[in-house]
Structure 1
């Protein structure tokens, strides 16, 4: 018998699955509804608190008590902690509050509510030194209505009840007001803790909130408005439609009576020409946006008692940017750009057209940069990132103009002599096409002079001063830097040495274009004839060989005369 009962449940489960999970659970249960900091554990004492006169008791400005506020003129809420001087323990957690602070005044919290829903409230109360009385009020912020009074001595007691949200009331205020204390002083007494609000549901439930993300950051921020009348569709993981809902005045929606399983939630964009879904899954699941750009999100319910109220959707507007690409004189096509968000992540890209512009659409509110990634042919890449901002509701595109500079070229002069030897210390002037001198360059010991950053165009060089020992080259030497220069323009300029038979010293030769050459007369010295014979050579005064010859001649003459007489 027991086996048949188990088998019967199994087949019932299979029938439910075959029906596309349309069967609804029937068990009622409750889950917490929208209240925050229920037991006062989220307190910023360091920045907003001061000691109230005994250990672990603090006056904390309401800005330091998450979600709660007070009408106490001082703006303070009195926070007690375990280990206080009167040894009063918290009912829940570590912290609780004394309703009567340094001045009398109610403590309250405003909560988003769905008109027509039934809420269950509960809280813990006790007196400080005797019997204290506090009052609970619930209603619209400008008209809270008395619900009940809690009267307790020096022990904690809990209270609960229900409240039906009236039609049109999308914000409901829970207020705790001091009525009386055992001291007779409304600033001493009435401890509160563990304040909760619940809603009853049938079966598992899924839902949460749709809002307008006015700063486009993907996070629900204070002051961002809800998005009412947005249609939400719930599908099984096999895309069988289960239910539809429409967000109410506070942007909330809720699917109840669901079975466990995987679901697909479809948010319908109310105006695709104006809105888009904001950044997906940024930060905390309670304050993020779950759908992708198509409005699709996934959710999972683990049991019929599961409560998944974290499936939120943010709607935001989109804007555009138009980038204009120019040089000094014309519009430039084929410049490529990326759009980066404030984190440096590339989110879009585009290339300028023949009009030198590109429009990039679909940008949600936020701060961005454009970065050029490829320059038009013949132009230098612009390295600077240019910032811009897209605002919520923007209608006109942001327009930016980015100027490119032409690629510049390089001139190299190689100075040599007629033997192809390098010549240093040759000085050149470089002129543009308007005959304006734009630079002076000097060759180094390798005979090289270099000039960079020359824009495309016509130029010429003229030697101002030749190397020592060489004649000045006085003619203009033209050259051209082409559009989109790839390699340097090289000029090889040859100098001729000053002739060796020229008696002028190198210092006397003109070295500068403005100098006038000094002409030195040429003097040719008289030289002896190299081929004269010994007979043609005249005797020189004081020549000893000539004297000897004369003596011998005289001796021979005298001998001849004597022989004739005999």
Structure 2
């Protein structure tokens, strides 16, 4: 026994040397029982968190303010005006705060209790304390504690113009998960119910044995991993505590408030296991989400977490766990007419993290299970053979208490191919500017393509099937190929279809010969010349025919005609001369 007492005495001395910062904790002298008082969830204990700038109104005296209760963190009032009267050091009456810089006057601009509601664990023992002072003489105020609708008087404090502290204990009744501390003004030395009863440094402790470890389990209805307003506690959840060797130390069950607490712990590393009450229906929510350790969920998807307790006086009230329901999705993969197997997907959460992956079966179906509420995307990573990869992720949403799988339909397009047409001449030389028309076998016109300077024309984006290529314009100097060229784009094309179309040189057209005039065979009469009829000579007339038609007339006729012309000319000349002379 002496050895045990010496151990606790050594620990106590060590703690006194290193100190504990600003944590409100007081040790008793009974080290063998390892009992400690740890501050329990009281907020703004000495009224330092007050927003005078936004909610304050000057009360007529230096450093005295009427502050709307919204501006006094954690505290409310039954004063009809809704105001709490806040005094500060340096006030006109020279009254100092008991703790810090601020304190309040219960008798504000109207009488009304001041109160704060606190979460409590039924059956736990709380220690309370506060400081009270009269303003102008003996003022009296009463402390009441209990459920908000069932307060019980605990203590009547009556004091003159000196601060005095009070303390006591309160055992939280069964089923009482919210407890209200209320300070009500009873009387003043002046009889004026708006003057008197100063109050400061209100504290609440829970009596524990050794270090304290615990917190809260709740239903995370939106699956974001954060305790949001309106989300309900999860009672009846089993929580197990293990040492760093994996040995079970204690087991707790969350109360009606969702709270649990392990006490009497020595400093060290611990493991905590939150037991899923129904793995077929529930899952643990996202781990360490939101960046606020007071509101996040600590265990992993298996309900396991680790924690370090630094000292025997530590208050580690931060191990929260969020329970949420699980849903599922069905991915249905088709090409619009038939189901497709072998499509693989990554399923990503709203943070872009991969939560699972899946592949469609022979019926084109893939089940995705164990999804907590939230928004997800299905991103295709492998397309079925012969089909194009779906470029756009498909979004879907899982809701709390989902009872049927959500259907996600994803459609793939066939992988397309291309055709290369090579246009060459008789010497296999490349021929540009040949124009081809491409049609489906059923007659749908897909457009035209023209060969480039390398004699190549290409059409891409052709789905598997049968096609017909027809030359509509041949290169200059070449005959058009009138014969259509059928070709097929295969399923799952891996390379272009190659077609070679050869053109013959076009024949050179014959050059036309000039027209040759023919002379008449006989004159019409003496002294006149009859025009010779002309006829066109085509390339079809033979050399023999042409020679026969060009045979000269008899020589006699030619001389007589020339003489007559000469005589006629002389006669005309002579007549013209004689006339001029006359």
Cα distance in structure 2, aligned partners of 1:332 and 1:160: 75
Aligned equivalent of 1:202, options 186, 206, 209: 209
Deviates more, 1:112-121 or 1:176-185: 176-185
Q: Which residue of the other structure, out of 485, 495, 500, is the alignment partner of 2:503?
A: 495
Which residue of 40, 59, 66 corresponds with 1:33?
40
* Superposition deviation, residue 142 in structure 1: 1.5
Match of 1:427 among 428, 431, 435: 435
Cα distance 1:103–1:7, how it changes in 2: closer, same or farther (>3 A)?
closer
Q: TM-score, normalised to structure 1's length? A: 0.77
**Match of residue 304, structure 1, among 298, 312, 323:** 312
Instruction: Report SS of the residue matched to 2:33.
Output: coil
- Work out the CA distance in 1 between the residues paired with 2:374 and 2:390: 23
TM-score after normalising by structure 2: 0.75
Tell me which residue corresponds to 1:219.
Answer: 226
Structure 1 residues 67 and 479: CA distance shift in structure 2, 3 A: farther
Q: Secondary structure at the match of 1:138?
A: strand
Which consecutive residues of structure 2, in runs of 5 or more, have no partner in the other structure?
Answer: 11-30, 513-536, 545-582
CA contact 1:25–1:204 (8 Å) conserved in 2: no
Alignment partner of 2:248 out of 241, 256, 275: 241
- Structure 1 pair 445/68, CA: closer, same or farther in 2 (3 Å)? farther
Determine helix, strand or coil for the equivalent of 1:406: coil
Map of 1:403 onto structure 2: 411
Report the counterpart of residue 467 of structure 2 in structure 1.
459
Give the alignment partner of residue 138 of structure 1, picking from 129, 142, 145.
Answer: 145
Q: 1:356 to 1:118 in 2, by over 3 A?
A: same
Per the TM alignment, residue 458 of structure 1 is displaced from its structure 2 partner at its CA by: 0.7
The structure 1 residue matched to 2:425, chosen from 417, 424, 427, is 417
**Counterpart pick for 2:285 among 278, 293, 296:** 278
Q: Distance in 2 between matches of 1:84 and 1:417?
A: 110
What residue number does 2:387 align with?
379
**Structure 1 45/396 Cα, relative in aligned 2: closer, same or farther at 3 Å?**
farther
Bigger shift: residues 326-335 or 415-424: 415-424
8 Å CA contact 2:5, 2:32 repeated in 1 = no
2:327 is equivalent to residue 319 of structure 1: yes
Q: CA deviation at 1:40?
A: 4.4
Q: How many residues align?
A: 496
Alpha-carbon offset, residue 259 of structure 1: 2.9
Q: Aligned pair 1:523/2:531, yes or no?
A: no
Where 1:464 maps in the other structure, the secondary structure is strand
Give the Å deviation of 1:243: 2.2
Match of 2:362 among 350, 354, 367: 354
Q: Give the Cα separation in 2 of the matches to 1:418 and 1:102.
A: 112
Separation of aligned partners in 1, 2:462 and 2:51: 64
Judging changes above 3 Å, is the alpha-carbon distance between structure 1 residues 85 and 491 closer, same or farther for their aligned structure 2 residues? farther
* Structure 2 Cα separation of the partners of residues 149 and 522 of structure 1: 143
Residues 1:257 and 2:264 aligned together: yes
Which segments of 5 or more consecutive residues in structure 1 lack a partner in the other structure?
14-23, 505-520, 529-566
RMSD: 3.7
C-alpha distance after superposition, 1:170-197 (max 9, x if no partner): 1111223455668877667665443321
The 2-side partners of 1:176 and 1:121 are apart by 12
1:121-178 CA distances to partner (integer Å, 9 max, x unpaired)?
2234556788765443221111223333455677655433222212221111122345
- 1:398-454: CA deviations, max 9, x gaps? 211011111111222232322333333322221112112122223333333222211
Task: Report deviation, 1:305.
Answer: 2.5
